[in-house]
Amino acid sequence: MKKWIFFFAVSLSALIIFNMLRVSFTFIYYELDPIGFIEELCENKDKPELQCNGKCHLKKVAQTTGDENEPVKIINFEELLLFKQDITDYKLQTNFYSLKRENFTYLNLYNFSYKSSCFHPPQV
């Protein structure tokens, strides 16, 4: 069981790190092997007159990361009306503890002693 948890944690960590470094790996690949990058990933291979040399794909990758880093739009809850109900519909109970306590006594006057032995004072 511990091996599965360890394997899951390592694979999830590797996936998160790879996703964070995806753009960096693309730029490193472009710097290390520009010819291989152009042959594999360039979108304008059929138009050599543009001379983009793979920068079209780099621009596309950089733009996708810019879209991912957009700030989250904050919802204004004052304008958002989910449900409205009048407060007058509620009736509050004011007598929460109105239980009557009845005092009663036994009629047969029976008494039970919880002690197993009875204390007798020493005799002289």
The pTM score is: 0.42
**If you search the block for the tokens 């050599």, which residue do you land on?**
48
Q: Give the confidence band of 17 by pLDDT, cuts at 50, 70, 90.
A: confident
Give the tokens for residue 87: 């407060």
Higher pLDDT: 16 or 44? It is 16
Compute the radius of gyration of the chain from its Cα atoms: 40
Half-sphere exposure of 72 (CA within 13 A, CB side): 3
For residues 8-27, give the mean pLDDT.
Answer: 85
Higher pLDDT: 13 or 90? It is 13
**Whole-angstrom distance, CA of residue 43 vs CA of residue 45:** 6
**Whole-angstrom distance, CA of residue 19 vs CA of residue 24:** 10
pLDDT digit string, tens, across residues 31-41:
887 777 777 77
For residues 3-23, give the mean pLDDT.
Answer: 86
pLDDT digit string, tens, across residues 24-70:
878 887 788 777 777 777 777 777 677 777 777 777 877 776 656 55
For residues 97-108, give the mean pLDDT.
Answer: 67
Residue 31 · residue 23 · CB < 8 Å: no
**Whole-angstrom distance, CA of residue 38 vs CA of residue 36:** 5
Q: Has residue 11 got a pLDDT over 90?
A: yes
Give the tokens for residue 99: 């239980």
Cα-Cα end-to-end distance for the chain: 76
